[in-house]
Structure 1
Amino acid sequence: MPVPRIRQLVIAAKSLETADQLGELLGLGEPFIDPGVKEFGLENRVYAMGDQFLEVVVPMKDDAPAQRFITRCGEGGYMAIFQTPQLDAFRSRVDSMGIRRVWNIDLPDISASHLHPADMGGTIVSVDEARPLGSWRWGGPDWRERSVPGGLVSMAVETPDPDGLASRWALALGLIVDRRTLYVKDGAIIFREGPVERLAAFGIHVADRAGVLARAQDMGLDVDGFEIRFAGVGLSLLD
């Protein structure tokens, strides 16, 4: 069975200033603005790192799901998007588990399904199949020209029941749990104990870790070793 890959991680924020700060902090290129997210009551900025993506979404409507998330939890990790070459098999598997698909799209170059966070747990999960494999509609038509060196190597989900949630994600994604960790292609999903379920941290490979840490200090962000606290998410830097 094909192993999924982390392709895009998303932060929900109160304003686009957070997106600008993220770009400044990590030394990112020009972001893509996706008009399609208006369907969800959002505006966004999508930054390319290698062939992966960091996105900041900002609610434009009081009834947008992201606004309800921010009201309940504050700014923070909002969504994880995985890539698979076999979305039909994934859809069949989650349907058989009773996990609701709350949004589906099938376009010539990409298909995707969003899973209900109440069923999946932890965060909103999307699983997408891009055609061709190396493409990515959500990054914009010229994302390769805007990309900077780096990438996403891990994500951490906090929950009061890390063993139970890891097992559920493993079944849904077709993976095996190894000590509260699911190993995906080129990365890992780590489950750790916490008071509430949330997407708590991103592991990010950067070309200039010292430079990013220096900028974090200049911006007045909380820095602990190689982790920066940013918009409710721990950004763990790897060089």
Structure 2
Amino acid sequence: MFHRLRQICLVAQDLDPVVAELCDVFDVAVCHRDPEVGMFGLHNALMPLGHGFLEVVAPLAPGRAAAAERHLARRGGDGGYMVITDTDDLARWEPHLAATGVRIAAPLEMGAYRGLQLHPRDTGGALLEINTTRGNTSPDGSAIDDPYGPAGPGWQAHIRTGTVTGITGVRLQAADPEGLGRRWAEILRRDLRPDSDGPHSDGWALDLDNNARIRFEPDRDGRGEGLGGVDLAVADTDGLRRRAAARFLPVADDHVVIGGMRFHIGG
């Protein structure tokens, strides 16, 4: 049995400009656009980053996607939206979620894929989803025939690893990062610990099965509680920085900002 970080979702006011920036700066390609998200008033694009996925969603039209539009308003624009984890045994999670007082905001099922989107008022921090795809058995998702329903068929053909080789973690920010971390640790059945490997001494972290880390940090940018950062494994930092600068995107010592998200790329 495994439980791993599998996908990160951003929400944007306009889909195509953010997707174009991500594809150019990270040298990745769209593998799937899912018509099923239209039921939520959204359209989307998914890009594989190694064997993880980065998704962007945006409202199809004003007033069509109430939850996403509320999120955009609350956090002052484009930014992080969802943390999506993947398991080979989803059934064991439902009684545990009920016991911890977490409601299912949206049960999802399509073919071999089944997912549980959890109510953000019960989790805090961000929308959290736990899902499974039948036949998905490799803990790190690296098997060449490893299926993943949300990414569509044949997503492996779109993998490019010349610049970004994978997603290694996410960063949730809050006024009380320890409290948020303890809530997520309870929900995800993981141990919370001080984040001694992080850039600051006031953070907390928990680890998932594919060497991915969920960090909990203070709100440093004034945007309030939410998903503020993604940690990436990068093979070509110089090229990534150069392409970001050419698009006049914010570039700092350890991160670039695209779609309102800090992508931490190290030195």
Q: What does residue 145 of structure 1 align with?
A: 157
Q: Provide the rounded CA distance (Å) in 1 between the counterparts of 2:110 and 2:73.
A: 33
Name which of 85, 88, 109 aligns with 1:85. 88
Unmatched segments (≥5 aa) in structure 1: none
The 3 A distance-change label for structure 1 pair 91 and 238 is: farther
Unmatched segments (≥5 aa) in structure 2: 137-145, 195-203
Deviation sequence 1:44-69 (CA, Å, 0-9, x none) = 11001222100111111414111221
Q: What does residue 183 of structure 1 align with?
A: 207
Q: What does residue 54 of structure 2 align with?
A: 54
- What is the one-letter code of the residue matched to 1:213? R
Counterpart secondary structure, 1:55: strand
Q: Provide the rounded CA distance (Å) in 2 between the counterparts of 1:77 and 1:228.
A: 14
Counterpart secondary structure, 2:216: strand
Q: Provide the rounded CA distance (Å) in 2 between the counterparts of 1:30 and 1:115.
A: 26
Q: What does residue 234 of structure 2 align with?
A: 206
Answering whether residue 185 of structure 2 is matched by residue 170 of structure 1, we say: yes
- Identify the structure with the greater strand proportion: 1
Normalising by structure 1, report the TM-score: 0.95
Q: What does residue 66 of structure 1 align with?
A: 68
Q: Provide the rounded CA distance (Å) in 2 between the counterparts of 1:213 and 1:47.
A: 19
- What is the one-letter code of the residue matched to 1:47? M
Answering whether residue 115 of structure 2 is matched by residue 120 of structure 1, we say: no
Q: Provide the rounded CA distance (Å) in 2 between the counterparts of 1:238 and 1:137.
A: 31
Q: What does residue 159 of structure 1 align with?
A: 174
Counterpart secondary structure, 2:38: helix
Aligned residues of 1:9 and 1:80 also touching (Cα < 8 A): yes
Deviates more, 1:55-64 or 1:39-48: 55-64
Name which of 249, 254, 263 aligns with 1:221. 249
Alpha-carbon distance, 1:31 to partner: 3.6
Q: Provide the rounded CA distance (Å) in 2 between the counterparts of 1:128 and 1:212.
A: 31
Give RMSD over aligned pairs.
1.5
Aligned residues of 1:79 and 1:124 also touching (Cα < 8 A): yes
Alpha-carbon distance, 1:176 to partner: 0.5
Alpha-carbon distance, 1:141 to partner: 0.7
- What is the one-letter code of the residue matched to 1:111? R
- What is the one-letter code of the residue matched to 2:127? I
Deviates more, 1:155-164 or 1:12-21: 12-21
Counterpart secondary structure, 2:13: coil
Runs of 4+ in 1 over 2 A off after TM superposition: 105-108
Alpha-carbon distance, 1:108 to partner: 4.4
Alpha-carbon distance, 1:71 to partner: 2.1
